[in-house]
Structure 1
Amino acid sequence: MKIKKKHVYGLAASLLLATSLLGACSDTKETGEKTGNIDNLNATGMPITKEKIEVDGFAAKFFASQDWNNLMLWEEYEKMSNIHINWTTVQTEVLADKKNLLLAAGNYPEIFFASAFSKTDLIKYGQQGVFLPLNDYIEQYAPNFKKLLDEYPSVKQGVTMADGKIYGFPTIYDPKFTSLRVGAPWINQKWLDNLGLQSPETTDDLYKVLKAFKENDPNRNGLQDEQGWGTGYGIEQIIYYLRGSFGLNKQGTMNVNLDFKEGTEEFRFVPTTDEYKQLLEFLNKLYKEGLINKDVFTTEPQKFAAEAAKGTFGMLSEVDPKELFKLDGYTGAHVLEGPNGDRQFTAMTNGLGNLGMFVLTDKAKNPEAMVRWIDHLYGDEGTKMFFMGFEGVTYEENADGTIQYVKDITNNPDGKNLDQAISDYLTWPGGYYPGIVTQKYFQGAEAKENSINNANQVMPYALKDEEIIPGLNYTVEENDRVSAVLTDIQTYVNEMTASFITGKESFDKWNDYKKTIEKMGLQEYLEVAQGAYDRSK
């Protein structure tokens, strides 16, 4: 399974939409929360409602072949809960456009599931009354989620908007699940052995090893068919691994464009630092010599998977190639020492993924019931169902009480990988979901021995939890000041990052690049971000 890191990291603010939206409904309490049909609600246990209810839901899905209206997960949960969801689903690639169109037209459903709303969306639509505030509902009807907020104050801080309200249920990656939080790319140990090389310890070593992989026939087939470093998730996968080697993001990647000036708690803008320039120069060197897959800026995960499965890459920024591509011989690469002596793994969060993975709108007829419905996915039994499925069908229980997927999932007779096989029954592959990911019930690649070993060798170089700053929460007014500015800046940074790496733009233009960003309103953004951070303290 591949966690969708681009959503976990949240690289840019979403565009604020100009919408004509309804105000609070007549059954709205002073808190802004709605009251549904309480008489039909069971306070605890299953079923959630005494009589069956139907709810209109919208969701993003990773596999086009899935029909959520005829999927075992939702059919079985309906039997348990007495709640039937009429699902409308879209592919993740078109999610942003589709959900924005629904909101702009006022043609939105009662619930949004796996829809990855940003903080900007949550505070904007929350204060407009389109998204319901959830604080009181959580207090009364979400004991599992409330327990997590009490256990992890940093997560509670992250989901609580600047107005003190919570508008969405997030993805939480259990902070104790180390191999899900950290991990280096995978390097082909067999190729290293064939060439008499050691796994790289520095960025200079990495260049030499990748060059040797490409030129010296490490697979011993007499052909120059080997490739260096590849990923199907964009250049950011590669950049994240190297950030700490270039002294960047020593406060983690919850606010990926920001870290502190040395010895202070004053923000600087990472993409205009000298260290970021050094990182791009290094990647330009790799790219122009063909040591990174040339289609890294355009390929998609499933397309890249077909290429990677050939076993021609010496290094992969994916999950364990043995689990994903059935390729043996890969081991976790080391955290590298960079040109300035930095050696740290900083691509880390506090375990909080996207905040807006489950949202109730003002059209919800039974908000209490739906909060109970989603809260089940944050508890032990619900997590087990969501990630493992159903006994005798997708998993079996061992004599010692542990559970594991059945062989038709782990060694599918039709040649499907684990993600594909489990998606005949469940929805978690692709990383779009509310709930908590725990090592007990998550049996994707990150929970396997190889990934655990990879994480263990990264941890001595990883940030400590107290060093990681939670995501910044802005007021509506602050969003109004920075959202458009940051969106434009981020678009420009992404374009120029690609141009510098590919050589389309010369590094002689670096100062012009910095001046352009400054003219786009960088200082205003930094001032607002600093204020939000100071307020959070």
Structure 2
Amino acid sequence: MQSLKRLTSVMLVGAMTAGLLSACGGDKEGQTSSGNDTNKEAVEPAVKTEGFPIVENPIKLTFFAGKAPSAPANWNDLPVWKEYAKMTNIEVDFQLTPTESLAEKRNLVLSGGDYPDAFHTARLSPVDVMNYGSQGIFIPLNDLIDKYAPNFKKLLEQYPEIKKGLTMPDGNIYSFPTFYDPEFKSVIIGQKLWYNKSFLEQLGMKEPETTDEFYEYLKAVKTLNPKYIPYAASNYGSLLDEVKGAWGLGNRGNAHRMDIDPKTKELRYIPASPEYKEVLEYMNKMYKEGLFVDNLLTIKGPEVNALMDEGIVGASVTNSPHAISGVSIEHFVGAPVLKGPHGDQVFSRARPALIDLGAFVITDKNKHPEATVRWIDYFYSEEGSKLFFMGIKDLSYVEKPDGTLEYTEEYKKEPSKYVSFAGGFYPALLTAKTYKGGESTPESMEAAAKAEPYWPEEVWPAFTFTQEELNRYTPLHTDINKYVDEMTAKFITGDTPFSEWDKYIQTIEKMGLKEYKEIYSAAYERFKNNG
């Protein structure tokens, strides 16, 4: 059990994309025989393979669910879930756990054996999914998806990368993910680099398109007014991820610290590369010259938003500034993908569309796995996505004559009265048509369009590891990356001089970089061959 607790504490970020699909219709009914050996003795009511209700005789299910601070306190009373219960004849009891205690409570429930029918929005990592799936606690879904998940099955066929990312080393799929429409680049990107357009106009400068021009712009902002802050964000990580592509790093997206070395065509650990040193030297130059907000390492997002709202910030990497609640930030325009000193220009912050691998799992306690798969499958159709994100037509949203959707005034006043998706990590398909957050505004869509020409040729989701691999991978991954984080901050702030770079590389190698890369390589080869 100690080993299990240690392994389940590892969090690996996953993600990939999704497309606009229609909901399935029709009235065909199919008698089911459970695809899960654990439930063979259970009496499963007739489950429709298409259409609603899913079952003629009502059933009840209990879901463990994670509740983000921005999400409603009680999902069971929300119109979206009451409506879906009527449609399906399936009543779900959402048992909510706040995200701040989610991992601890979730692991206690699982290790104690008194767990529910399914875990919804519970932030399960790929390691968690593999661990509990291999133990039989989470049931395999391969056959169930084939028979009872027409919408999700269609996505698997349309986007092979989903299946590659979801398939565990034992060949099974144990979870339904968060999946973003691959065409909806704005939401896949998330945070973006923004320039203060009014400052550019005052300075008579065009939008910086190279790392040198970006540096010169920040220097110029500082000359406009002593109170102005050239660059402000919460910590340095988002800007580091933005500019590393100008040195050709992150050519497989931002879910890993590994990519492919274009010279050797082999895996490259980015923080141990010569190019990474140049990126840190660039960041250090800006830090030393006072081009970053003074408390860069400690300032929080809302404080940054307040500074931007004051009109004193020249640039920031943040979510859509014009759509941040509680402020009215103006004059910001999305930045182009920066070109570096050697001609490199890669959008290194690209994320996979398979955003959260472990958004929904079904446990071996579930007596109705077929009906549960049908229940969750609806949210991977356009109609289901519309219900999940927009709520009830004419109550929380209206549909305009041109087919576009818009939230009602009642929804805008208090969205938590209608839907539960706030906070992310949900099992659903998200599209530009059915999601109306800040990422869907014209400004964000225009900003994302600037990144598309420089999108990596392939964006990796999280990889999966065997139990044997995890025994070594987990401590190596934790220790090496902790050291890299510490040293990255010290190089940027100047607490460690770059004369110590060789010592830094030697330390990483002594910590087991070679073995770490070998394990990673095995996982990468397995990922390539999935499907």
TM-score bracket for this pair, using the shorter chain length: 0.7 to 0.9
Letter in 2 for 1:314: G
| 1:54-453 equivalence runs, <5 A | 54-63=60-69, 66-67=72-73, 68-182=75-189, 184-217=192-225, 224-232=226-234, 234-254=235-255, 256-302=256-302, 304-324=304-324, 325-409=327-411, 412=413, 421-453=414-446
Query: Conserved in 2, the CA contact under 8 Å of 1:186 and 1:316?
Result: yes
Cα distance change, pair 441–215 in 1 and its aligned pair in 2 (3 A) = same
- The 3-state SS of whatever aligns with 2:176 is coil
Q: Deviations over 1:307-343 (max 9, x none)?
A: 4443332222122211224322111112112233212
> In 2, distance between residues paired with 1:89 and 1:143?
29
Q: Deviations over 1:198-220 (max 9, x none)?
A: 22122122122123323413xxx
TM-score (norm 1): 0.85
Letter in 1 for 2:254: T
- The 3-state SS of whatever aligns with 1:483 is helix
- The 3-state SS of whatever aligns with 1:472 is coil
Following TM superposition, by how much is the alpha carbon of 1:434 offset from its aligned partner in structure 2, in angstroms?
1.3
- The 3-state SS of whatever aligns with 1:49 is coil
> Which shifted more, 183-192 or 379-388?
183-192
Following TM superposition, by how much is the alpha carbon of 1:52 offset from its aligned partner in structure 2, in angstroms?
3.3
> In 1, distance between residues paired with 2:391 and 2:507?
51
> In 2, distance between residues paired with 1:162 and 1:86?
32
Matching residue within 467, 474, 479 for 1:476 = 467
Q: Does 1:49 align with 2:61?
A: no
Cα distance change, pair 41–301 in 1 and its aligned pair in 2 (3 A) = farther
For 1:490, the equivalent position in structure 2 comes to 481
> Which shifted more, 353-362 or 320-329?
320-329
Cα distance change, pair 264–303 in 1 and its aligned pair in 2 (3 A) = same
> In 2, distance between residues paired with 1:314 and 1:243?
20
Letter in 2 for 1:291: L
Letter in 2 for 1:60: G
Following TM superposition, by how much is the alpha carbon of 1:469 offset from its aligned partner in structure 2, in angstroms?
4.1
Cα distance change, pair 307–427 in 1 and its aligned pair in 2 (3 A) = farther
Cα distance change, pair 493–98 in 1 and its aligned pair in 2 (3 A) = farther
CA RMSD of aligned residues (A): 2.6
Q: Deviations over 1:357-414 (max 9, x none)?
A: 111122223222221111111012110011111122221121223221224455x4xx
Cα distance change, pair 151–264 in 1 and its aligned pair in 2 (3 A) = same
Query: Conserved in 2, the CA contact under 8 Å of 1:109 and 1:363?
Result: yes
> Which shifted more, 491-500 or 294-303?
294-303
Query: Conserved in 2, the CA contact under 8 Å of 1:184 and 1:335?
Result: no
> Which shifted more, 89-98 or 140-149?
89-98
Cα distance change, pair 292–252 in 1 and its aligned pair in 2 (3 A) = same
Following TM superposition, by how much is the alpha carbon of 1:436 offset from its aligned partner in structure 2, in angstroms?
1.2
Query: Conserved in 2, the CA contact under 8 Å of 1:319 and 1:446?
Result: yes
Letter in 1 for 2:194: W
Structure 1 runs of 4+ aligned residues shifted over 6 Å read 28-31
Q: Does 1:39 align with 2:45?
A: yes
> In 1, distance between residues paired with 2:37 and 2:498?
52
Following TM superposition, by how much is the alpha carbon of 1:235 offset from its aligned partner in structure 2, in angstroms?
3.2
Cα distance change, pair 456–56 in 1 and its aligned pair in 2 (3 A) = same
Cα distance change, pair 495–29 in 1 and its aligned pair in 2 (3 A) = farther
Letter in 2 for 1:128: Q
Query: Conserved in 2, the CA contact under 8 Å of 1:116 and 1:356?
Result: yes
TM-score (norm 2): 0.86
Letter in 1 for 2:184: F
Following TM superposition, by how much is the alpha carbon of 1:30 offset from its aligned partner in structure 2, in angstroms?
8.8
Letter in 1 for 2:323: E
For 1:11, the equivalent position in structure 2 comes to none
> In 2, distance between residues paired with 1:119 and 1:310?
42
Q: Deviations over 1:80-108 (max 9, x none)?
A: 22333332323434433332333344443
Structure 1: gaps (5+ residues): 1-13, 19-27, 218-223, 413-420
Q: Deviations over 1:411-443 (max 9, x none)?
A: x4xxxxxxxx43332222332211111112112
Query: Conserved in 1, the CA contact under 8 Å of 2:192 and 2:319?
Result: no
> In 2, distance between residues paired with 1:276 and 1:380?
42
For 2:21, the equivalent position in structure 1 comes to none
- The 3-state SS of whatever aligns with 2:520 is helix
Letter in 1 for 2:485: N
Query: Conserved in 2, the CA contact under 8 Å of 1:58 and 1:109?
Result: yes
> In 2, distance between residues paired with 1:523 and 1:244?
24
Cα distance change, pair 366–312 in 1 and its aligned pair in 2 (3 A) = farther
For 1:516, the equivalent position in structure 2 comes to 507
- The 3-state SS of whatever aligns with 2:356 is coil
> In 1, distance between residues paired with 2:517 and 2:478?
14
Letter in 2 for 1:343: Q
Cα distance change, pair 43–275 in 1 and its aligned pair in 2 (3 A) = same
Query: Conserved in 1, the CA contact under 8 Å of 2:210 and 2:340?
Result: yes
For 1:221, the equivalent position in structure 2 comes to none
Matching residue within 453, 459, 462 for 1:460 = 453
Query: Conserved in 2, the CA contact under 8 Å of 1:250 and 1:259?
Result: yes
Q: Deviations over 1:470-501 (max 9, x none)?
A: 54332222222312221222222223222332
Following TM superposition, by how much is the alpha carbon of 1:344 offset from its aligned partner in structure 2, in angstroms?
1.8
For 1:528, the equivalent position in structure 2 comes to 519
Matching residue within 479, 496, 499 for 1:505 = 496
Query: Conserved in 1, the CA contact under 8 Å of 2:178 and 2:356?
Result: yes
